[in-house]
Structure 1
């Protein structure tokens, strides 16, 4: 499914947080959102995912304006993975992933074969099937994040939004999770802090600053030394990795 946003703006009270942003994401493409803290990445994600209503502008998913779509119906097509989530309740990994089936089930419906297949398939896709009965509290940070993604996959979405999914993880798990997201073959928009990870795993990158989009294009087009100096206030050398054709950023000391 494709995602199209036109002239989105949103704020709280008198403070404007997102201003006049338009973007398009083709089916199967991964768009990365990067920018300094407070640039509006998380707010923009929530607007596009239908979790917040914009002051102005529209969002279309697969050609349909989401403002006229119920939250339940939208959740059958769109999944949102937040930065982190915790619970003190004693639940198993499987119980957490089962929550992803909520949009597909009525209040009185029993657990179906379709529900079971979706949960099992989601756990297999994130390589957590062997942990299905394990207690949530015993998981590592990287394992918990994979379960978050499995819960989203259990929704059987066509579009996935991820808000800094690698936050607080070690580099091994950062790469592991972003590689997994890329290989899911879904249309996705992901907010990231690490610029090199964005270059490695995103088809295109949008750079945000002060609630607006200041650049959008391929990693090679966007990640330039002048832009990094202007937006992130850092000096850097940009080289192109021969093995993958992606830019690599080396920050100056």
Structure 2
């Protein structure tokens, strides 16, 4: 299912947090949301997931405005993996993943064969089947993140939004998690901090700055030295590695950043 946002605006406390942002993601593509802290990535994801109502603009799943969809119907199509998801209880992995079936179940309805199949499939897809009976408190950070993705997959969505899912994970689990999202084949939008990970795993990227979209396109076209200097205030070299079709960013020391003036920035489009 494709996702399209047109001229989204949203403010909090009188401040405009998302300012006329538009984007388009084709079915099965992965879009990376990039930008410094406070650029509006998390707020934009919550708008796209229907958790907040924009004060202007609209969001379309295929050709349907999500404002016209009942919340339960939207939850059957869209899943959000939040940045900070925790629980004080020691629920098992299976119990947490079963929560993903809520949008598909009527009040007082029993657990169905379809529900069980969806949970088992989600556990298998995320490599958590062997941990299904394990308690939440005993899981590693990577296992907890995979459990949350399994819960999202149990919804059987067509579209998944992930808010910085690799935060606080070691490098092995970061790459493993992003590889999993890529292999799922869902239409996905992921807020990321690591620019090289975005280049490796995303078909397209959208760069935000102070709530504005300042660049959009393939990683190779967007992640230029001049844009990174302008938006992220870093000096770098953008290189290519034989045998790979994504750019690799080599960051330079701060004293070199002061010596390098930012160049022209590619506009969104």
The normalised TM-score by structure 2 is 0.93
Report the equivalent of 1:188.
188
- Name the CA distance, whole Å, in 2 between partners of 1:87 and 1:122: 20
SS at match of 1:147: helix
Q: Deviations over 1:140-195 (max 9, x none)?
A: 00000000000000000000000000011000000000000000000000000000
Report the equivalent of 1:207.
207
Report the equivalent of 2:94.
94
- Name the CA distance, whole Å, in 1 between partners of 2:212 and 2:34: 11
Report the equivalent of 2:109.
109
Report the equivalent of 2:230.
230
- Name the CA distance, whole Å, in 2 between partners of 1:73 and 1:249: 41
TM alignment of 1:159-170, pairs within 5 A = 159-170=159-170
After TM superposition, give the deviation of residue 14 of structure 1 in Å: 1.3
SS at match of 1:57: strand
- Name the CA distance, whole Å, in 2 between partners of 1:136 and 1:191: 25
After TM superposition, give the deviation of residue 241 of structure 1 in Å: 2.0
SS at match of 1:189: strand
- Name the CA distance, whole Å, in 2 between partners of 1:185 and 1:51: 24
SS at match of 1:44: helix
C-alpha contact (below 8 Å) 1:45/1:161 kept by paired residues: yes
After TM superposition, give the deviation of residue 62 of structure 1 in Å: 1.6
C-alpha contact (below 8 Å) 1:84/1:145 kept by paired residues: no
Report the equivalent of 2:241.
241
- Name the CA distance, whole Å, in 2 between partners of 1:25 and 1:50: 16
1:157 equivalent to 2:154? Answer no
Report the equivalent of 1:142.
142
After TM superposition, give the deviation of residue 70 of structure 1 in Å: 1.3
- Name the CA distance, whole Å, in 2 between partners of 1:135 and 1:13: 39
Report the equivalent of 1:39.
39
The normalised TM-score by structure 1 is 0.99
Q: Gapped runs of 5+ residues in structure 2? A: 254-269
Superposition RMSD in Å: 0.6
Aligned residues: 253
- Name the CA distance, whole Å, in 2 between partners of 1:150 and 1:94: 9
